[in-house]
Amino acid sequence: MSSESSKKRKPKVIRSDGAPAEGKRTRSDTEQEGKYYSEEAEVDLRDPGRDYELYKYTCQELQRLMAEIQDLKSRGGKDAAVEIEDRRIQSCVHFMTLKKLNRLAHIRLKKGRDQTHEAKQKVDAYHLQLQNLLYEVMHLQKEITKCLEFKSKHEEIDLVSLEEFYKEAPPDISKAEVTMGDPHQQTLARLDWELEQRKRLAEKYRECLSNKEKILKEIEVKKEYLSSLQPRLNSIMQASLPVQEYLFMPFDQAHKQYETARHLPPPLYVLFVQATAYGQACDKTLSVAIEGSVDEAKALFKPPEDSQDDESDSDAEEEQTTKRRRPTLGVQLDDKRKEMLKRHPLSVLLDLKCKGLAPLSLGHLLTPRSAASCSHVGVWQADAPLPTKIFCSARSQLVLTWKQQWEEDWHIQGLDHRKLSVNGGFAHQWERALPPPDGHFCVEPRAWPVFSMQSFPSSSDLLSPDSVLSCLYPGDHGKKTPNPANQYQFDKVGILTLRDYVLDLGHPYLWVQKLGGLHFPKEQPQHTVIADHSQSASHMETTMKLLKTRVQSRLALHKQFASLEHGIVPVTSDCHYLFPAKVVSRLVKWVTIAHEDYTELHFTKDIVEAGLAGDTNLYYMALVERGTAKLQAAVVLNPGYSSIPPIFQLCLNWKGEKTNNNDDNIRAMESEVNVCYKELCGPRPGHQLLTNQLQRLCVLLDVYLETESHDDSVEGPKEFPQEKMCLRLFRGPSRMKPFKYNHPQGFFSHR
Amino acid sequence: MERAAQQAVPLGQMEVFQALQRLHMTIFSQSVSPCGKFLAAGNNYGQIAIFSLSAALSSEAKEESKKPMVTFQAHDGPVYSMVSTDRHLLSAGDGEVKAWLWAEILKKGCKELWRRQPPYRTSLEVPEINALLLVPKENLLILAGGDCQLHAMDLETGTFMWALRGHTDYIHCLALRERSPEVLSGGEDGAVRLWDLRTAKEVQTIEVYKHEECSRPHNGRWIGCLATDSDWMVCGGGPALTLWHLRSSTPTTVFPMRAPQKHVTFYQDLILSAGQGHCVNQWQLSGELKAQVPGSSPGLLSLSLNQQPAAPECKVLTAAGNSCRVDVFTNLGYRAFSLSF
């Protein structure tokens, strides 16, 4: 501020001083010049300290003068005015001095500032330079490290070892005398050698390729020759067919069957192979055949990748359709179910011939009517098969499934009592999972046998496919799916229980799974199952034997039932020793009853509670009469007859109703037929058990009635005079009657 | 419940046979061990099962403890009668009496100690032994059954000392009069006979069926059960269950029970009886029915009161009959649980 004011003033001073100064300058330029710059130059000459002293002194003088002026004024006097004037002049001089000093101070300040600024600029410039230099240093250092860290490509090349190099490389490459000492040259030489070697190998590779092509061409030529051989061989085979037929050597047929068998799904294939093997080795009566369309089966085998694509497409389509046709969701689900339970086009037919059935004695052979109706053949044709693909996300893994099914069909052909042939095919259902990463397939198949046969009135249940095959092994009633994994799939398409579909599909018996080589562990629902030959083989023999005995015993029963319905208990000659010659009680009725009716009978409670009255059993009601006494017998026929005995529960209507609850002897009679059944089996295989039990029941009723103590108080003769020879009438605390028949002597005793 | 039972059907040949055997089982006899903690039961297949009463009655009893701790085949025929001496279990049925050491049975080593057969006269059929009776004072075992005689066996020597003849049909039951050493026997012929053990002679005969008060001709004459207490005797069977005064040979009370009774016993001032029907009947001496306690069997054949002083905690009434179960009554009021073969 002060400097500014001084600047403003300076030109003024210059201008005010200008006009006179011009004139003066012309006179003495140097003087004027010195005068003009005097103050600025003066600054350099003067000592600031002295100026300061001067300033202090001037101020003191001014103060003194002011005080004197005041003093004079206050005193007032004549001479005062003069003195005041004098003093004022002095003060003015002092003021001038002060002014000068002020200007000098300003100039000094400005000068100092200029100097400072100058110095500062110099420092800035130096600083900038320094920074530039530092940056350059850094950059250079970086460059140096980069260079140091550089890696050459040759380091990655796996070079031959040093000794090998010197040993093998030609001297013009190795140049031992140069390279031995210089590692750089040495490396270069080694790289040269590497290149040389690689070039040689490439040459070799090309040679091998051409060699290979040459060999391929040769193979092609030979192949052509072989294929030209095939038609010729075929024509020879064709020509030999009539000869084969003429000589009864069905090589060709067997071969064809094996060809077809390749299209069977694994479980059926296992079944086919094992059954054929078993038939050839052990059982000539078993023959195996494959039925169905091979082409349709071939169509099912598509590469899984394609199918997967299809699936995603159809999935999308499906979504669209569901959007379009919402109300038909139920129909769709129904279709899905149908697809899921579709049968495989191929089926394996097991033909088991049972020969040498013992004809029943007493001429109670089949009546012509029933014989005629037996010859019916029921065949169940498989539906048109289409591979069904269903995504199952139960295990967060895509599972692609084909649902296919085989039908099993049992039919009895040309039934006479000499030869019986039973055909069985198998209904299978199997699923194929997408290959897991390691690339093998999981197969989860199921097999369901299905039987169909015309029922005829007398013993419909007896030979109905349902009951013939049921419980072949204990508890194997085929009402649940053997593969726990199926439950999830059923859930998906809304199948609540398999029971509703068993009629159409057949029963998934466990023994069929085992014949198909499938084993489903019960405790591990997600276990993947693989068709296994050993599994099938271990069960083949027992199952076939069981099937045979089952059918034989059923046929025996069937014959027996025909006469039972006419009130005749057929006793074969080899079982006569079990019964006395005269049996008065007669069987008057033999009818089938329903399971529900059986459980509702008042005298069968014990059996139901003991868990012996399952719904897989067959139930009959027999009525044995003698005079006024009527003995009802409710019979449980286990499907495992005749190894598992029929169970009788009795109710006698004579002088009141007597059951095992209120009469110890009725209880004893039941135990005679139920527990002591082993002596009633007759000759092996014990097909006469049921009839013998019934005959025994008649005998027991005779004994019971004849030994009943006569009431002395009642007049008249006994209704049933004692005809049987008995050692004693009663024995033991529960007063048992002598139910045991002793054969040659013909008397009755206690057990 | 019934549904569940039907679902559990998977039965093979063995299982069905075993189920049928159990279903047709009859338990004829029971006997409590001398220590009072174990119960032996014999069935119609000749098996004897030993149950541990103390285990079944204990507070931490499981289903397992209601099963026999050991079962063994004792006879070929049914085990009709069993008694326990202070060391032995004696069982009889098909004409033979066999002795088993209790100590060995409990160690599950079941080997018969000895067997004896009374001298029978017939040879065609071996007569059964329906009743065993111990006469502790004389160390005698009295056997009776199919050959209509009472055989006395000296337990010391194992010899048969004498036989008492008189019954015309086989003998069902025996009872001992403690004070005057007399034995009562009741048989199929409808007579109750009193025998003096000192003279080995018949003292008295009561032909029950001839008394109109108790005769029931449609049921037969047979006397199935018998019990005495000083001058009193109670017997039943074909005729109605009747209380008799022995000295005057007169029926004093006829108990109104239609079904034939198979076992009767005095208990304090009550008479317990069981027979056809699933109830244990409790009678006042006056003839009033005090209570009928239902059991689990359709018919009962034997009652056993465990009054061994050695095991007061096991003081129970057990009843068995036409089933494989032995009902246990902890007090006379109700059935606590069943032991089962």
Does A709 touch chain B if contact means CB atoms closer than 8 Å?
Answer: yes
pLDDT value of residue A532: 64
Instruction: Specify the pTM.
Output: 0.65
Exposure string over A219-229, b if 16+ CB within 10 A, otherwise e: eeeeeeeeeee
- pLDDT for B311: 82
**Cβ of A474 and B22 within 8 Å?**
no
**Greater pLDDT, B302 or A720:** B302
By mean pLDDT, which of A142-156, A251-265, A595-609, B276-290 is the weakest? A251-265
pLDDT of residue A16: 39
Q: Do B13 and A727 touch (CB under 8 A)?
A: no
pLDDT interval class at A610 (50, 70, 90): confident
Average pLDDT of span A637-646: 83
Across A374-383, A486-495, A592-601, which has the greatest mean pLDDT?
Answer: A592-601
Residue A424 has pLDDT above 70, yes or no: no
Q: Return the pLDDT at B262.
A: 92
Mean predicted lDDT score pLDDT of chain A: 72
Using CB atoms, which residue from A477, A674, A728 is nearest to B24? A674
Residue B260 has pLDDT above 80, yes or no: yes
Q: What's the Cα-to-Cα distance from B234 to each of A146, A359, B172, B181, B184, rounded to whole Å?
A: 125, 61, 14, 18, 11
Task: Kindly state the helix (H) or strand (E) to which residue A212 belongs, with its residue range.
Answer: helix A183-246
Nearest to B9 among A614, A643, A662 (CB): A614
Facing residues of A657 across strands? A653
Cross-chain Cβ contact B80/A647 below 8 Å: no
pLDDT of residue A224: 93
> Could you write out the DSSP letters of every residue in A16-44?
HHHHHHHHHHHH-HHHHHHHHTHHHHHHH
Name chain A contacts of B23, Cβ cutoff 8 Å. Answer: 606-607, 610, 612, 674
Contact B301 A733 (CB under 8 A): yes
Cα–Cα distance for residue pair A611/B11, rounded to 1 Å: 9
Tell me, what's the pLDDT at A212?
96
Greater pLDDT, A32 or A166? A166
Mean pLDDT of B73-99: 91
Q: What is the mean pLDDT of residues B283-306?
A: 90
Task: Please name the residue of chain A whose CA is at the shortest distance from the CA of residue B170.
Answer: A731
Give the mean pLDDT of A320-330.
51
pLDDT at A440: 29
Cβ contact A542:A514 at 8 Å = no
The two tokens of residue A324 are 């379009």
**Rounded percentage of chain B residues whose pLDDT exceeds 90:** 43
* pLDDT band (50, 70, 90) for residue B90: very high
Strands ordered across the beta sheet of B270-275? B261-267, B270-275, B279-284, B289-294
- Measured CA to CA, the distance from residue B135 to residue B158 in angstroms comes to 14
Higher pLDDT: A119 or A372? It is: A119
Is A643 in Cβ contact with B8 (below 8 Å)? no
Partner B, chain A 602-661, Cβ-Cβ below 8 Å: 606-616, 638, 640, 643-645, 647, 660-661
Angle between helices A48-75 and A78-149 (to 10 degrees): 150
pLDDT in tens, B215-253: 888 888 899 999 998 889 999 988 999 999 988 888 999
Residue B175, Cβ neighbours under 10 Å: how many? 24
User: What's the N-to-C CA distance of chain B in angstroms?
Assistant: 22
- Min Cα separation A670/chain B (Å): 8
Short-list A661, A658, A730, CA closest to B321: A661
Give me the residue from B13, B24, B262 closest to A640, CB to CB: B13
With H, G, I as helix, E, B as strand and everything else as coil, classify residue B192.
Answer: strand
Q: Which residue has the higher pLDDT, A538 or A317?
A: A538
Q: What is the mean pLDDT of residues A640-657?
A: 87
Mean pLDDT in residue range B32-41: 91
What does the radius of gyration of chain A's CA atoms come to, in whole angstroms? 62
Q: Report residue A381's pLDDT band, with 50, 70 and 90 as the boundaries.
A: very low
Judge: A732–B21 Cβ closer than 8 Å, yes or no: no
Q: Which residues of B touch A522 (CB under 8 A)?
A: none
Please give the pLDDT value at position A372. Answer: 25
Going by pLDDT thresholds of 50, 70 and 90, the confidence category of residue A452 is very low
So what's the pLDDT on residue A120? 96
Q: A610 to chain B: which residues are within 8 Å by CB?
A: 5, 19, 22-23
DSSP β-ladder status, B38-43 and A629-637: unpaired
pLDDT exceeds 60 at position A323: no
Q: Between chain A and chain B, how many beta carbons pairs sit less than 8 Å apart?
A: 118
Contact list, A499 vs chain B (CB under 8 Å)? none
A440-475: burial string, b at 16+ Cβ within 10 Å, e else = eeebbbbbbbbbbbeebebbebbbbbbbbbbbbbbe
pLDDT score of A715: 60
Does the pLDDT of residue A358 top 80, yes or no? Answer: no
Interatomic CA distance for residues A726 and B78, integer angstroms: 20
Paired strand residues for B199: none
Question: Of B17, B99, B119, nearest to A644 (Cα)?
Answer: B17
Q: Write out the residues of chain B at the interface with chain A, using a CB-CB cutoff of 8 A.
A: 2, 5-13, 15-17, 19-24, 26, 28, 77-78, 80, 124-125, 128, 130, 146, 170, 172, 188, 217-218, 220, 222, 224, 262, 276-277, 298-299, 301, 322
Query: Which has the minimum average pLDDT: A260-274, A585-599, B249-263?
Result: A260-274
What does the pLDDT read at residue A203? 96
ipTM of the complex: 0.90
- For residue A721, how many C-alpha atoms fall within 13 Å in the half-sphere facing its CB? 3
Q: Spell out a b/e string for B125-151, using b for 16 or more CB atoms within 10 Å of the CB, else e.
A: bbbbbbbbbbbeebebbbbbbbbbbbb
Give how far Cα A309 sits from Cα of A171, A438, A715, B105, B340, Å. 64, 21, 96, 76, 65
Q: How far apart are CA B6 and CA A614, in angstroms?
A: 5
pLDDT higher than 80, residue A47: yes
The reply to whether residue A675 touches residue B24, judged by beta carbons under 8 angstroms, is yes
Tens digit of each residue's pLDDT (9 = 90 or more) over A270-302: 878 888 888 888 777 777 777 777 777 777 665
Among residues B92, B105, B136, B97, which one has the least CA distance to residue B33?
B105
Highest mean pLDDT among A207-221, A266-280, A397-411, B235-249: A207-221
**Cα–Cα dist B250/B304, whole Å:** 28
Task: Tell me the C-alpha distance between A534 and A517, whole Å.
Answer: 7
> What pLDDT is recorded for position B101?
92
CA distances to A59, A101, A106 from A52, rounded to whole Å, are: 11, 9, 14
Q: How much of chain B exceeds pLDDT 70, in percent? A: 96
How much of chain A exceeds pLDDT 90, in percent?
17
Nearest chain A residue (CA) to B21? A675
> B320 pairs with which residues across the strands?
B302, B326
Given a cut of 60, whether residue A211 has pLDDT beyond it is: yes
Per CB-CB distance under 8 Å, the chain A contacts of B2 are 599, 608-609
